[in-house]
């Protein structure tokens, strides 16, 4: 068994005060850091994804002046801007592999991204022999959902750490967790107390 932690989009624009900030985002950032500091041997590999959108186009219709907040969104996480950076409470020194997604197109799942070295996520997982994936991050009802479903679809054992995710809305977040559980993901917690 080779384990990986997926930290999904714990970025300034998705935390409180950001362009698409969700309630509890900063707490997720701090909680993930705490998890990795208190349990340094828990994961063989730690991946972190970031939306990394182009600033000079609508990213395949992802950005819209009048967003519907389902398929279109306000400008967020533009490459190289403060909003695209990891939240400061997330210690990125604890991350082994950084994944950028959404470069010029809509992208929700970490599986749609590439590493800083240009490797696709499936290539990296295969190279490292990853079998088990824990998923944390933002947002439960969008990118966490998409990433965990893709993990299951690619044949991995997937757990979602429900105390280390934050969503856009309570109802859609709860529906996402129900969907993940019915798809085969295990729901558990990452921190104890």
Known catalytic residues are 9, 101, 143
Distance CA 192, CA 42 (A): 14
Sign of CA dihedral 73, 11, 19, 22: positive
Phi (first) and psi of residue 36, to 5 degrees? -70, -35
CB of 80 closer than 8 Å to CB of 106: no
Selection from 119, 114, 86, 83 nearest residue 101 by Cα:
114
174 cis-preceded (ω within 30 degrees of 0): no
Selection from 96, 98, 75, 74 nearest residue 86 by Cα:
98
Angle between helix axes 145-153 and 170-183 (nearest 10 degrees) is 10
């Amino acid at each position: 068994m080779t384990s990986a932690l997926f930290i999904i989009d714990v970025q300034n624009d998705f935390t409180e005060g950001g362009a698409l900030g969700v309630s509890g985002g900063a707490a997720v950032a701090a909680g993930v850091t705490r998890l990795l500091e208190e349990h340094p041997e828990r994961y063989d590999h730690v991946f972190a994804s970031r939306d990394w959108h182009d600033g000079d186009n609508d990213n395949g219709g992802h950005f819209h002046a009048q967003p519907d907040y389902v398929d279109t969104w306000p400008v967020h996480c533009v490459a190289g801007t403060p909003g695209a950076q990891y939240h400061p409470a997330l210690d990125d020194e604890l991350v082994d592999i950084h994944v950028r997604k959404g470069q010029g197109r809509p992208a929700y799942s970490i599986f749609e991204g590439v590493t800083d070295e240009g490797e696709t996520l499936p290539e990296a997982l295969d190279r490292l022999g990853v079998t088990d994936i824990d998923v944390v991050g933002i947002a439960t009802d969008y990118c966490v959902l998409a990433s965990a479903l893709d993990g299951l679809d690619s044949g991995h054992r997937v757990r979602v750490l429900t105390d280390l995710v934050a969503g856009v809305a309570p109802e859609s977040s709860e529906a996402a967790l129900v969907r993940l559980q019915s798809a085969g993901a295990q729901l558990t917690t990452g921190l104890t107390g």
